[in-house]
């Protein structure tokens, strides 16, 4: 009954139009003098019968559709109406299915983001227990070892930075500012920030980058990426006296930056997964400090900035990270004469 009432409400305008059409026919017969009333009656009767037949057949064809839409849905899949007959309903169904597909994609994306945040926070909180416990033990001693406490505080600060960067990644476009930056200056700033760690590990950075080379990128994000690459190079080089080579070369496709260390390298089985979220691999288990998020965030940032990231490695020999600044992002810094 509900389906029939819905059908009637939908076709009220059509029935009013048909009524107006019949009245118009009667008006024509009246103006003609009603010379043959039977013809007028026959015309009215045929109009009513044909209209009723049309509406009845249309209701029968659309009965399943009306029965479906008047039901209270219990799950999203019920939006995918099947067994439709009219072209209008087919298009409506196709449109609804496409909306449902987009909805499913957005829901899955939000779920993945939420799950990744929850997993990362749980893992980070678990890892932060270690430096906090170490600091508490150091404070209980008669002579406080400030250097050890400072190292543990740095570990906590590094973890906090990863958390904040991971949170900002979701609003990357709002937090991005592209400008042309001198590459060597950025690299020097990153090395200075990690100077204490490099000295403590007994490593020697070799920076071979022309001062005139510049890249179009975001200062904060490029420093974060380079900091991750340099930190990993230092962290996984256990022998003192080793070197970290940083070179930049102009290529036809753009400016190629290479960071090569002489560390333990990455196993071939782990190499294609190092940029996956939460993947620590064999090397991460050696130090016990890896969150598996550093290279993942760096690869995400490279993708959004349009920089091509390539990682190659040989076990026991070292790792090379290549960062390609393409599409005219590489250039030479103008000198004072040119500026004038």
d(CA 3, CA 10): 11
- The 3-state DSSP class for residue 269 equals helix
What does the block give as tokens for 97?
A: 């299915």
d(CA 304, CA 226): 16
Paired with 244 in beta bridges are: 205, 261
Query: What percentage of the chain reaches a pLDDT higher than 90?
Result: 15
The DSSP call for residue 72 is P
pLDDT at 85: 62
d(CA 137, CA 41): 106
- The 3-state DSSP class for residue 251 equals strand
If we measure between CA atoms, which residue out of 127, 235, 146, 247 comes closest to residue 187?
247
* Ramachandran region, residue 254 (left: φ > 0; alpha: ψ -120 to 50; beta: rest): left
Choice between 324 and 338, residue whose per-residue pLDDT is larger: 324
Paired with 326 in beta bridges are: 254
Tell me what the pLDDT averaged over the chain comes to: 80
pLDDT digits (tens, 9 = 90+) for 276-320: 876 776 666 555 556 667 888 888 888 888 899 999 998 888 999
Q: Evaluate if residue 258 carries a pLDDT over 90.
A: yes
The DSSP call for residue 276 is S
What is the mean pLDDT of the segment spanning 227-244?
Answer: 90
Exposure letters 251-264 (e unless 16+ CB within 10 A, then b): eeebbbbbbbbbbb
Give backbone dihedrals phi and psi of 246, rounded to 5 degrees, phi first. Answer: -125, 120
Name the pairing type of β-strands 204-208 and 243-251.
parallel
Q: Evaluate if residue 130 carries a pLDDT over 80.
A: no
What is the mean pLDDT of the segment spanning 93-107?
Answer: 83
Q: Evaluate if residue 340 carries a pLDDT over 70.
A: no
pLDDT at 336: 42
Choice between 205 and 22, residue whose per-residue pLDDT is larger: 205
pLDDT at 37: 74
pLDDT at 5: 79
What is the mean pLDDT of the segment spanning 192-204?
Answer: 89
Name the pairing type of β-strands 213-218 and 178-182.
antiparallel
The DSSP call for residue 237 is -
What does the block give as tokens for 8?
A: 């009637």
**Cβ(263)–Cβ(238) under 8 Å?**
yes
What does the block give as tokens for 243?
A: 């070197």
pLDDT digits (tens, 9 = 90+) for 15-64: 888 888 888 877 877 777 766 777 777 777 888 888 888 888 888 777 77
Choice between 339 and 172, residue whose per-residue pLDDT is larger: 172
pLDDT at 291: 63
What does the block give as tokens for 322?
A: 């290549």
């Amino acid at each position: 009954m509900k389906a029939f009432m819905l059908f009637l409400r939908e076709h009220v305008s059509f029935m009013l139009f048909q009524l107006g059409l019949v009245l118009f026919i009667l008006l024509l017969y009246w103006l003609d003098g009603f010379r043959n009333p039977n013809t007028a009656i026959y015309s009215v009767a045929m109009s009513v019968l044909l209209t009723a037949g049309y509406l009845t057949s249309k209701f029968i064809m659309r009965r399943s559709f009306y029965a479906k839409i008047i039901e209270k849905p219990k799950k999203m899949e019920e939006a995918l109406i099947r067994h439709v007959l009219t072209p209008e309903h087919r298009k409506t169904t196709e449109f609804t299915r496409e909306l449902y597909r987009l909805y499913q994609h957005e829901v899955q994306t939000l779920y993945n983001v939420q799950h990744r945040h929850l997993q990362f926070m749980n893992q980070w909180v678990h890892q932060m227990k270690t430096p906090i416990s170490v600091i508490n033990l150091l404070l209980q001693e008669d002579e406080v070892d400030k250097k050890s406490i400072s190292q543990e505080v740095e570990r906590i600060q590094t973890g906090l930075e990863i958390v904040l960067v991971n949170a900002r990644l979701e609003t990357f476009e709002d937090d991005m500012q592209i400008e042309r930056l001198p590459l060597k200056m950025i690299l020097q700033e990153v090395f200075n920030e990690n100077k204490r760690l490099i000295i403590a590990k007994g490593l020697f950075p070799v920076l071979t980058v022309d001062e005139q080379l510049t890249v179009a990128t975001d200062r904060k994000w490029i420093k974060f990426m380079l900091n991750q690459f340099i930190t990993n190079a230092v962290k996984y080089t256990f022998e003192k006296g080793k070197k970290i080579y940083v070179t930049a070369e102009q290529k036809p496709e753009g400016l190629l930056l290479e960071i090569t260390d002489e560390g333990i390298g990455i196993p071939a089985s782990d190499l294609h997964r190092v940029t996956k979220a939460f993947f620590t691999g064999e090397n991460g288990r050696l130090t016990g400090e890896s969150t598996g998020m550093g290279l993942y965030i760096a690869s995400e940032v490279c993708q959004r900035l349009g920089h091509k990231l390539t990682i190659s490695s040989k076990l026991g020999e070292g790792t090379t990270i290549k960062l390609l600044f393409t599409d005219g992002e590489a250039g030479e810094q103008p000198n004072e004469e040119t500026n004038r």
